[in-house]
Structure 1
Amino acid sequence: MTVSSGENSVESKDLLAKLAPLEAVLFDVDGTLCDSDPLHYYAFRELLQEIGYNDGVPITEDFFVQNIAGKHNPDIAVVFFPDDMPRGMKFLEDKEAMFRRLASEQLKPIDGLYKLKKWIEDRGLKRAAVTNAPRANAELMISILGLSDFFQAVIIGDDCERAKPHPDPYLKALEILKVSKDHTFICEDSVSGITAGVAAGMPVVGLTTRNPEQLLLTAKPTLLIKDYSDPILWAALEELDKKSA
């Protein structure tokens, strides 16, 4: 069962309580710590137009959500350059460089992020960032958000045999932090990421930052919230605290 933002369900409070005592929280980066998808969309749209993709007609946001958001770069390269991977990877390097320039000026945290950060720190929980983003992107975003000292590990898809939607990056995070999947939850915003977290055997709190609620529900998150200020999340965390006590 998934409880979505806006649903006032008594059962929603108990959905994370089984994790008590909580040991760790794992976070995706793009769309989960910060609202970065508009910057990725802009960079893809501009550079794909430059190379004449789709006869120069700009890609739509729907196309971006369906084919790009949350995916690992080698998988994206296959979409645009199925017969020329080296060209595809070079294109993505250029796109990531443009994204980093945009992020340096425009990146904003998800609402309520620092409230959740304090909750995690106050309880001495372990934490890691787990992302399909290239390391340069991930570390830049984490640094801009002032979270470099917060995360004890940053695991990227390229560190693993398989990136998200496979569970490998999340399983690697558990191993590095030396915590149990039975006492850890994940925050994610994409179908790819939620799928990876569920496959790794952990409850996933899904954020509807940019991806449609109905699309995210197909991946079976435990909770679906608008942002980290959502009362659904805090009711669940309060219940988790009670069980831990």
Structure 2
Amino acid sequence: MLKAIIFDMDGVLVDSMRFQADAWAKAFQDAGINIVREDIYELEGSNDKRLIKSIFKEARKEPEPEHFERLPEKKRDLLEFDRIKPFEGIPECLDELKRHFRLAMVSGSNRNTVGKIVDKFFSGYFDVVINGSDLERGKPDPDPYLKALEMLGLTKNECMVIENAPLGITAAKRAGLYCVAVASMLEPEKVQHADLVLEDHASLFDYLKSLIPGKPQT
């Protein structure tokens, strides 16, 4: 029986990925690396350390120890936080789900960003919140989702994951969890390794409502 729904944050709950990507792109310019939004979309869900390693590797460069501190700080300074908003319909959807399921958030974003978004938009919604600073190994390793299961005190058969990014889907599947992907930022073929792929948030809301016990099917 489904008892909990675990949500990724960026690109699922909040329309933030373009702002996150633009801030990273500007930060990496300081390191002499030019990237585009899609480079970050492909790595969405990974924590700062893994993202930096991946970008440097793709650029055939080796990061210095200082990059792992300086680049995330620069990115946080550049992030247009006030432009980040929940996707339309998300608060109302969570209100309804909260009455029937336990809710968790598992994000690759750092503790500061996740904390600010939860405080501003989602206070009181989530029983468990895990951010990219909590664990050494982030997505695509299963650790963040396994930690969520542990903190919820539930089994993998009692939970499901809502994701939008390839690395997050891989993490959920490696944790043995059923994963639904909403293709909010990437083409559907990039997220085909999810158990179910939905084309947009309207389809996601319809699907989530169908999970509520006794809810009429539309």
TM-score for both structures, normalised by structure 2: 0.85
Which of 36, 47, 63 is residue 60 of structure 1 equivalent to? 36
Instruction: Report which of the two structures shows the higher radius of gyration computed on alpha carbons.
Output: 1
Cα deviation 1:31-81 (Å, max 9, x = unaligned): 111111110121122233344434xxxx32333334x43222111222336
Report % sequence identity: 27
Which of 170, 176, 179 is residue 204 of structure 1 equivalent to? 179
Match of 1:115 in 2: 92
Match of 1:46 in 2: 26
* 2:13–2:90 CA contact under 8 A, matched in 1: yes
* Paired letter, 1:128: A
Deviating runs (4+, > 4 A) in structure 1?
Answer: none
Uncovered stretches (5+) of structure 2, i.e. residues with no partner: none
Match of 2:133 in 1: 158
Structure 1 residues 84 and 126: alpha-carbon distance in aligned structure 2, compared to 1, 3 A threshold: same
TM-score for both structures, normalised by structure 1: 0.77
Tell me by how many angstroms 1:204 deviates: 1.0
Tell me by how many angstroms 1:171 deviates: 1.0
Residue 134 (str. 1) matches residue 110 (str. 2): yes
Higher relative contact order (CA 8 A, sep 6+): 1
Which of 2, 6, 9 is residue 29 of structure 1 equivalent to? 9
Quick one: distance in 2 between partners of 1:194 and 1:130?
A: 12
Quick one: distance in 2 between partners of 1:116 and 1:186?
A: 15
> CA RMSD for the aligned pairs?
2.3
Match of 1:171 in 2: 146
Quick one: distance in 1 between partners of 2:107 and 2:207?
A: 27
* 2:12–2:182 CA contact under 8 A, matched in 1: yes
Aligned residue pairs, count: 210
Uncovered stretches (5+) of structure 1, i.e. residues with no partner: 1-20
Would you tell me which structure has more helix in proportion to its own residues? Answer: 1
Tell me by how many angstroms 1:183 deviates: 1.5
- The alignment partner of 2:105 has SS state of strand
Residue 74 (str. 1) matches residue 49 (str. 2): yes
